[in-house]
Structure 1
Amino acid sequence: MNIPFLGHRHKKNGPAVLFADPASVAALLSECELLRSQAAQAGVRLDDTPASLEALDQMVPRWRDDPETLPWLGNDAGLYLGTVLVRTVPGAVWVIRADGEPVVRLASGREAEVVPAGQEWAASGVPELSQLYAEIAES
């Protein structure tokens, strides 16, 4: 598949990672349509800020009753957490791993696997997205 903004695979230094145009990747990963729709229905405004993560944590998790919606919403929750990190933490950027998993790389070099965290949040509510944000942003 040739997606121009994803760039080329680089295998010289460690595991293969797809380097990408940061603005294009950030725009694509920030869509989170299902999560934004569910939040809007609950009266929660997602404005890509840490405060919106707190509001998400307070939503009634009606999606847990729908086994088809749950994994998609969890994926969106992780991508939204990553979006807030990239937009508010200096030096944080999206990186697409060679296996296709989007992760947030912090200025320290640490990578935050936000999608699995979002899936855990959607399934159980723990850990809270706002708590994850605070822990990741501090490192």
Structure 2
Amino acid sequence: MDATMENKMGLPPPYEPSAPNPAPPPSYFGDNPPPPAAPTTQPRTVVVTSAPTSSDTSDIKIGPRPTGITCPNCNRSVVTRVHYAANNRTHIISAGLCILTGCCCGCFVPYCMRSCKSANHFCPKCRAFIGTYAPS
């Protein structure tokens, strides 16, 4: 087959052989290459710190309202900042009210009441989590 016959059949043209190793691109540094980096052998200093030993939050007694305590993270005497969050109890009470009342009007009441939510306590100074009060 000749080249004209190959083009009529829709075949691609034959590839031309390329040079085995192309020339490298021109240097960015001109004729002067950069000096090699000198190895630095400076001693490294390692600082080891320990966490406060009184970080056990299981002994802290907290309630549903802001509580005055000593923060286990920053060791300051603070009154906690409380964020109320819905929990499983909130959802169950809402579903029960919806079924008992027969309409969806009563199902929003537990989400407006703090007594149906968990109280998450945070330190106002360092913003560390201190604990959760879950209503029983």
Query: Does TM, normalized by the shorter one, top 0.5?
Result: no
TM-score class, shorter-chain normalisation, is under 0.3
Q: Which has the higher contact order (CA 8 A, sep 6+)?
A: 1
Structure exhibiting the larger radius of gyration computed from Cα positions:
2
Higher fraction of strand: 2
Structure 1-normalised TM-score?
0.24
Higher fraction of helix: 1
Structure 2-normalised TM-score?
0.24
